[in-house]
Structure 1
Amino acid sequence: MAKRQTAVIGAGISGLGATKCCLDEDLEPTCSERNGDIGGLWKFQKSTSEKMPSIYKSVTINTSKEMMCFSDFPIPDHFPNYMHNSKFMDYFRMYARHFGLLKYIRFKTKVRSVRKRPAFPFSGQWDVVVEANGKQEALVFDGVLVCSGHHTDPYLPLQSFPGIEKFEGCYFHSREYKSPEDFSGKRIIVIGIGNSGVDIAVELSHVAKQPTFRELGNGPLSQHPTVSDDLPNHIISGRVQVKPNVKEFTETDAIFEDGSREESIVVIFPTGYSFSFPFLDGLIEVTNNKVSLYKLVFPPDLEKPTLAVIGLVQPLGIVQPLGIILPIAELQSRWATRVIKGLSHLPSVKTMMADIAQRERAMEKRYVKTPRHTIQVDHIEYMDEITALVGAKPNLLLLFLSDPKLAVEVFFGPCTPYQYHLQGPGKWAGARRAILTQREWIIKPLRTRITSEDSPASSQLSWIKMAPGGLALLAAGLAYFRYIHRGKQK
């Protein structure tokens, strides 16, 4: 029987994982990437082109490597815990080479359209038109995984700033920002206090004249959080100034709500992105960054579920507040490929629509109503939700009975992606070892020399002491092991 042909659109972090998941399920992937390299958003480029994601030169991940890796391919232990984008790209190349993904990727190839293949009833197949070297080609696929990301269309809320149309100074979206050298001695206003806005303001403070920034949103819990180690120090030392809203612009100045003004300025808008799927020809409607997708993956009204969107999430967490898209996208791909292959099944349209409506209500209740807050998910809760659909959610009770040491680390330790490969479809033999050694891998980059005091036991103790409530966790762990040991003696 011929393998099901599956189109993967994009070779960023979502597309790489999706291509590998296709191979795991014995599907035949063809990945189309409009760029000349893998990595998507994380591929630094000096120049920006239309509808292409882009980062600035200094970008470093704000999530630790153990939380942000592919679930069956740990990031090397000597890599920094918080990697520069170039190091992250090194990891992607290692992943692609290890699993032989590059031969399935067609670079500099744009997907122009994806349409249902004419048939009644719908066969589940898709007509896909791609373009490379100025020539178009029509292909037929049994399934489609859309991995184009949600950093596609820069969002500039210019309508919120009266007078901006007559402002003669320079203003642009943060997507155009690459490095601080061109802004030496200039006055900078950064409008928005998301992660990119904070990073840019802090970086420019070393060369510019006291950058100022202001936030666009409402209360402290109505938006997803911003993470920065440097910002408090830069504010308290006066290198970055926080200002209220910009009331209006004149030809040369920005006037703030408190009456103060800045002249001869450069204005940077790190105000996020809108996403769209123009190549889907209206198949998935996007209104103010809202989409109706079951579990943020499947269109609910398809006759056959052979098209899925991967990586269209903004994850939130307690320990790692923002940014863990990679392992979530990988899980979505594991689920989607099983659905496309017919190994997993979706509920009724009515049930899916009810789930979508419930998610939207919860989102509106929790966050300020803006295009920025439409695809938020709670990291661990959503990972468990999708893994349950895959059939690979860890059974902690069974784990405590069969492997207490591993169970304790899964229950009390960080929620690293490896635990979703312990059981069920896609079980990985290396998952147990990866979980039991993950703390050592975190410590490894911090060790500049080996001392006689270094030992696995001492490092484990140091982690427990450093953690909040560490003594309580240690006591609970010891009590549990004593209980297990007594049970074995009996």
Structure 2
Amino acid sequence: MRRSLLPLSREVIIIGAGPSGLAAARWLLSRGFSPRIYEAHSQVGGQWSWTNPRSGVWPQMVSNTYRDATRFSDLNFPDRTPIFPHNSVVRDYFESFANKFGILDLIQFGTSLRQLRRGDTGWELELDRDGTQLTDTAPYVVVATGRFNAPVIPDIPGAENMSGELGLTHAFNYKSPKAYQDKRVAVLGGSISSLEIASDLSMLGASKVHLCQRRQRYVNPKMFLGVPIEYRLFTYERGRLALDDPDALMRDSEAKVMEHAGDPSNYGTPKPHPDFAKAGATGSQHYLNLVAEGRVHPLPWPKEIDGTSIRFADGRAIEVDGIIAGTGYQLSLPFLSADIAATLNLSDTSIDLDSFTFHPDLPGLAFMGLWSQAGSYPTPIEQQARFLVYTWSGQIPRPVDTMREGLLDCVREGHQTMPHSQAEMALRFARLCGTDPLGETDGWEAEHIKASPTTSMLYRRVGPDRIEPAERMNDG
């Protein structure tokens, strides 16, 4: 069965009702646009709805970023929310946000995008709703489908023949530690998700937990001396250094991680690379202490897998019942037409965009939240939504020539491959849309801003849609 959904003038179609799609809708509404949203799942929240097939969240997971960095500026978490909220609390927060701005009524749930292509009168979409094929057209489209939903399994010889009873799966599919109780498990990868899963398993009853890494990273805790790590690593000033003085940022990062946790080999891990930049850093509240207690066992990267055995280049071998690979994601936008994909130079790892958002040859099409970063996404996503809307509304025009310069910067700087942080990305977008709080302040207030953690409220101090000081205080 096939029918058409008639386009409306000045309409915007948003694909996805996760944080990016909700932020886009809120700010589009503020400038007189009429968005409608298609969401494949039955709830808002994107990754934060763990029942969503496109979510890698597991039921017991709590946020690894503190609550004030994991919210938008227009709504606070409820009173007595823990510093690091449970994933269900975060999902409920986004539903409350959608309710506050009347966004829920704009969402058509259970509707998947099959193809997006150029049309004669706008962007044309082919959609699927319970087997019914739909079409829709609009002059504006925002793609907000997320960056972390196409897991990559590592290419290790013999991996396809792993015969342990729990098999080899990606961290994206890890949903319950119960299946791993009293089992021998190897977790592959050195990112925060790998460290958190290994920590969960070791504390929730796995008989033995190994963590296999290509390199040993430095590990920051989530809290330091009773304060969230965002007050140390994701401040305004460190965002500025990331954009203006990367060498100084690297020196500051090394000094801070040595203060927070020191050399991880002191806890029993392998020695990190002596060059801090090559070693890299990640985060986990419990991992290093669990290594020190002999409850998580660090190992190098596997050489091969043979049935239930994992073998290493140094001659060691272990027996496991299951393997969980926390080995990242590829960029997946399979619904883009061949023409659009070619224009964007799209690959499994990169996409060419002006300021992570636009392409000068694809007017009326925007992409949100597709970069990889350390730290929380809501604050930079909100700034990106404002950048998008101020541009489309003409409030802060962005000429095509400027977009082409931004496209050159994307390729020259390697935007899709270089590391980013929430502090850098929030400030990057703030500078584009006139909301950099340091641009209109000096003296003691400027020093206060520099030391402030990156939150959405920080970027409502100045510029369009500023929140007055009294309102900021009332927000709590």
TM-score by length of 2: 0.79
Q: Deviations over 1:255-307 (max 9, x none)?
A: 122212112431111111112211111313432411111111112433xx311
Contact 1:202/1:240 (<8 A) preserved = yes
Which of 392, 398, 415 does residue 435 from structure 2 map onto?
Answer: 392
- Stretches of structure 2 that go unaligned for 5 or more consecutive residues are 1-7, 217-272
- Stretches of structure 1 that go unaligned for 5 or more consecutive residues are 120-124, 316-321, 364-372, 442-490
Question: What residue number does 1:377 align with?
Answer: 420
Amino acid aligned to 1:132? R
Distance 1:130 1:235, change over 3 A: same
Amino acid aligned to 2:419? Q
SS at match of 1:128: strand
Structure with max Cα Rg:
1
Q: Deviations over 1:25-70 (max 9, x none)?
A: 110001100000001101122xx74xx2221112111111112210
Contact 1:276/1:286 (<8 A) preserved = no
Which of 204, 214, 217 does residue 216 from structure 1 map onto?
Answer: 214
Question: What residue number does 1:260 align with?
Answer: 316
**How far does residue 215 in structure 1 lie from its aligned partner after superposition?**
1.2
**How far does residue 197 in structure 1 lie from its aligned partner after superposition?**
0.8
SS at match of 2:277: coil
Q: Percent identity?
A: 28
Give the whole-Å Cα distance in 2 for the aligned partners of 1:350 and 1:103.
37
Paired residues, number: 402
SS at match of 1:279: coil
Contact 1:394/1:420 (<8 A) preserved = yes
Question: What residue number does 2:379 align with?
Answer: 327
Give the whole-Å Cα distance in 2 for the aligned partners of 1:54 and 1:97.
25
Give the whole-Å Cα distance in 2 for the aligned partners of 1:10 and 1:277.
12
Contact 2:159/2:168 (<8 A) preserved = no
Question: What residue number does 1:292 align with?
Answer: 352
Matches of residues 341-490 of structure 1 in structure 2 within 5 Å? 341-343=393-395, 344-348=397-401, 350-360=404-414, 374=417, 376-396=419-439, 398-400=440-442, 409-429=448-468, 433-434=471-472, 436=473
**How far does residue 400 in structure 1 lie from its aligned partner after superposition?**
4.5
Distance 1:433 1:350, change over 3 A: closer
Amino acid aligned to 1:100? G
**How far does residue 221 in structure 1 lie from its aligned partner after superposition?**
2.8
Do residues 277 (structure 1) and 316 (structure 2) align?
A: no
**How far does residue 113 in structure 1 lie from its aligned partner after superposition?**
1.6
Question: What residue number does 2:229 align with?
Answer: none
Contact 2:19/2:45 (<8 A) preserved = yes
Question: What residue number does 1:166 align with?
Answer: 161
Contact 2:190/2:215 (<8 A) preserved = no
Give the whole-Å Cα distance in 2 for the aligned partners of 1:34 and 1:42.
14
Amino acid aligned to 2:359? P
**How far does residue 408 in structure 1 lie from its aligned partner after superposition?**
5.6
Question: What residue number does 2:153 align with?
Answer: 156
Give the whole-Å Cα distance in 2 for the aligned partners of 1:128 and 1:197.
37
Matches of residues 109-120 of structure 1 in structure 2 within 5 Å? 109-118=111-120
Amino acid aligned to 2:163? E
**How far does residue 104 in structure 1 lie from its aligned partner after superposition?**
0.7
**How far does residue 254 in structure 1 lie from its aligned partner after superposition?**
1.0
Contact 2:382/2:456 (<8 A) preserved = no
RMSD: 2.3
TM-score by length of 1: 0.76
Which of 14, 18, 21 does residue 15 from structure 1 map onto?
Answer: 21
Is the deviation greater in 162-171 or in 191-200?
A: 162-171
Give the whole-Å Cα distance in 2 for the aligned partners of 1:238 and 1:24.
54
**How far does residue 133 in structure 1 lie from its aligned partner after superposition?**
2.4
Which of 309, 317, 322 does residue 367 from structure 2 map onto?
Answer: 309
